[in-house]
Structure 1
Amino acid sequence: MFETERCFINTFKKTDFVDVKKVFVNPEVRKFLGGIRQEDSIKVLLDEMLNSSDHSFYWVVREKHTDIFIGLVSLDLHQEGIYLEISYQLLPNWWGKGYATEVVQCIINYALNELSLKKVVAETQTANKTSCKLLERLGMELERTIIRFGAEQAIYSIIKKTK
């Protein structure tokens, strides 16, 4: 479990299925993520998340003072199979208030300092300007753009600074 100024970030559990499903069926959240997931694919995905490998991490984000579900954040093997990718999906009520910055920064710090990863990547559609700005604000740098999933994607990375 992690704690930020306003959030608790807890390991994903089966009891979180109902809340986590909310991000997969929200059209605003899914706008740049391939659209709303179908019911049967959500169940498969949630089961995969619950039974993930030792190198995949899924966390549920809740507001500290209300215990209200905010979203999901993860570290999982990137599409290209080399580095772990940070991903995040927060419900729209929590957008524009700094929650994503707080949560993603916490997980990047964990990845680089506790897991001792040398590099963490993130992939987002270039059309998702808000997500691109968030990643840049957190010190991630644009490596390249590619076409994947039928859209232009931006691949960002952050490398652990050595002293």
Structure 2
Amino acid sequence: METNRCNIIKLQNNDYHDVKLIYINEKVRTYLGGIIPDEHTLNKFSDTLERSRTGSYYWVVRLKSNNDCIGLVSLDRHVDGQHFEISYEFLPDWWGQGYAKEVISRMLDYIFDELHLTKIIAETQTANHSSCRLLENVGMKLEQTVTRYGAKQAIYGMEKQSWDT
């Protein structure tokens, strides 16, 4: 898949070193439970790679201009067990430049038009104002707030007919 500026590529074994930079970045992991200690990054990556082979979807986001990895995006079962959840992590150097919106918008096309899902959700900490704003900017609506993982979480949703209009 691609956007104007990015390629969205299925996660592969050779992506480990790029993805590790996301796992260990304090800014990226602020609202995601903290950095993943170095000694656990390979296990986390291996688990993610395995899950991508068994019904979950994980992609690296690379710049078209130089192939640099700028983020990770996923589609996986939400903790509620009913819906798929879109998640994303972008390196701070690329924040505020529209890359995440561009990629998430393309992913919504994929989710509704190619996977034919009828609803997608996203969960983020309410304290992560940038993420909440991004989800609202792509058209997702706040459906509920819950306390999970020791923090207040916002659950956003979108149904296919909302995306098609």
Relative to the length of structure 1, the TM-score reads: 0.96
Q: Which deviates more from structure 2 when the two are superposed, residues 79-88 or residues 53-62?
A: 53-62
Q: Which deviates more from structure 2 when the two are superposed, residues 49-58 or residues 23-32?
A: 49-58
1:88 aligns with 2:92: no
Paired residue secondary structure (2:146) = strand
Which residue identity does 1:130 align to in structure 2? S
1:29 aligns with 2:13: no
- TM superposition shift of 1:54: 3.9
> How many residues are matched?
162
Unpaired segments ≥5 residues, structure 2:
none
Q: Distance in 2 between matches of 1:123 and 1:30?
A: 14
- TM superposition shift of 1:41: 3.0
Aligned to 1:51: 50
Q: Distance in 1 between matches of 2:143 and 2:154?
A: 8
Q: Distance in 2 between matches of 1:81 and 1:48?
A: 19
Aligned to 1:72: 72
Which residue identity does 1:36 align to in structure 2? I
Q: Distance in 2 between matches of 1:82 and 1:21?
A: 30
Q: Distance in 1 between matches of 2:99 and 2:82?
A: 28
Q: Distance in 2 between matches of 1:11 and 1:107?
A: 12
Aligned to 2:9: 10
- TM superposition shift of 1:18: 0.4
Q: Distance in 2 between matches of 1:27 and 1:39?
A: 12
1:147 aligns with 2:147: yes
Residues 124-163 of structure 1: pairs in structure 2 closer than 5 A: 124-161=124-161
Q: CA RMSD in A?
A: 1.3
Q: Distance in 1 between matches of 2:33 and 2:70?
A: 20
Unpaired segments ≥5 residues, structure 1:
none
Q: Which deviates more from structure 2 when the two are superposed, residues 58-67 or residues 42-51?
A: 42-51
**CA deviation string 1:87-117 (max 9, x = no partner):** 0000000000000000111111101111000
Aligned to 2:116: 116
Paired residue secondary structure (1:30) = coil
Q: Distance in 2 between matches of 1:40 and 1:145?
A: 33
- TM superposition shift of 1:79: 1.2
